[in-house]
Amino acid sequence: MDTLTWLSLGLQLAALCSIVGALLLYLLRKVRVAEVLPVDSAKTVLVTSVDTALGLQIATYLSGRGWRVIAGCRSGGLGARLADSWLQAHVASTSENEPPPRLVTLDLDVAREDMLEEAARATAQHLPAGEHGIWAVINTAGSSGRGGASCWESALRGNVLGALRVARTFSPLLAAAAADHPYAGRLFYIGLTSDTACESLARTEAENGEGSAGAAAVRWGTWGAARALRASLRSRRLNVVLLHAPDLSAAEIYAPPAQLQPPSQPVSRPDTPNSDVSASTAYCAVTMPGEAAEYSAKVLPTCALKVLEEALIAPSPRDSYYLKVKQDSWFTRMPSLRVVP
């Protein structure tokens, strides 16, 4: 064959090799993505408290996204009733060809050793057959630390010591999940907030007095406890992740679900064309004697919740993520949870 023919064959062979190489790279990437995403049987997350609006928002969001959520709460409290009602409403509205959301509540108080141990046993019992641990624990329990010296001890016991107790109690379940899946075993804490920094403390000192100093001390204590736990749990292949919320105060993070309006006023909130329906229509029906009220569980925008979910499935999670809060427009629907007679 002449030179031109050899050149033509060489170009065709090179093109064929390029196509095969591109196809192999595509298949390898698909396999890697499948390995990163948790399999259905491994998607169990524990949220330590849905008594806070933030915890309730995270629990319902992840449940709506397909995660199996175990939610800690006070027995008979508003958070427990709203979570159960949210589940009932969304199961009823789920079509037959779609899996229903999975959310179960259990009694949990991070300040009490006995309740933590009982919650760990109950969590293990809620796991499906073949699953030996939980993918992640998201600690949303705690208090703001404001209110003077009388509140400091309770805040330190619930936030700082609670962070240590949560790690000690649930690390065996996290380690068991990490043994089955290389990306499981993640422990999340709320990190620094807008009232943690000394600059914010100086601005509010005159107004709030020593209460702001106690709030800042509690936040720094939680941050330090998480950093210490990260070093001690690394040998067990567990990741400790801080979720920084620089736009929110501790009072906003640990606030309970808030009633939006008096029961007598009708609900009327216009939608926007680009509003996220799945994240903005979380309604819960709870029987309350003689009243009907609507509660809001919105603390974070949808973009911040997506950052949290990214931290849950990233192959190598960072030590910290920032949950930025953007101001909603005037016409943005407020996600709410409804209490009806």
Quick one: tokens of 177?
């999940």
Q: How confident is the model over 78-95, as a mean pLDDT?
A: 87
| Strand order from edge to edge, sheet including 258-261 | 258-261, 293-296, 336-339
CB-based contacts of 142: which residues, under 8 Å, 6+ apart? 49, 52, 110, 155, 158, 159, 162, 190, 218, 222, 250, 253, 254
pLDDT score at 71: 95
Task: Answer whether 105's CB lies under 8 Å from 74's CB.
Answer: no
Q: For 172-184, how does the pLDDT look when each residue is reduced to its tens digit (9 = 90+)? A: 999 999 998 889 9
CB-based contacts of 108: which residues, under 8 Å, 6+ apart? 48, 49, 72, 73, 115, 116, 119, 141
Quick one: tokens of 323?
């949950």
Percent above pLDDT 70 for the chain: 74
Q: How confident is the model over 188-217, as a mean pLDDT?
A: 67
CB-based contacts of 326: which residues, under 8 Å, 6+ apart? 301, 303
Give me the phi and psi of 332, to 5 degrees please: -80, 135
Classify the phi-psi angles of 148: left when phi > 0, otherwise alpha if psi is within -120 to 50, otherwise beta: left
CA distance readout (Å), 93 to 57, 100, 166? 19, 9, 34
Q: How confident is the model over 41-46, as a mean pLDDT?
A: 77
Please give the angle made by the CA atoms of 174, 176 and 181, to the nearest 5 degrees: 90
Tell me the range of 194-198, 307-311, 334-338 where mean pLDDT is highest.
307-311
Model confidence at 261, pLDDT cuts 50, 70, 90, reads low
Smallest CA-to-CA distance from 186 within 310, 13, 334 is with 310
Task: Answer whether 284's CB lies under 8 Å from 257's CB.
Answer: no
Query: Could you tell me the pTM of the whole model?
Result: 0.76
Flag the least confident range among 129-143, 244-258, 314-328.
314-328
Smallest CA-to-CA distance from 138 within 163, 104, 111 is with 163
CB-based contacts of 261: which residues, under 8 Å, 6+ apart? 267, 293, 294
Q: For 27-42, how does the pLDDT look when each residue is reduced to its tens digit (9 = 90+)? A: 665 544 444 444 454 4
| Strand order from edge to edge, sheet including 44-47 | 102-107, 68-73, 44-47, 136-139, 186-193, 239-245, 320-322
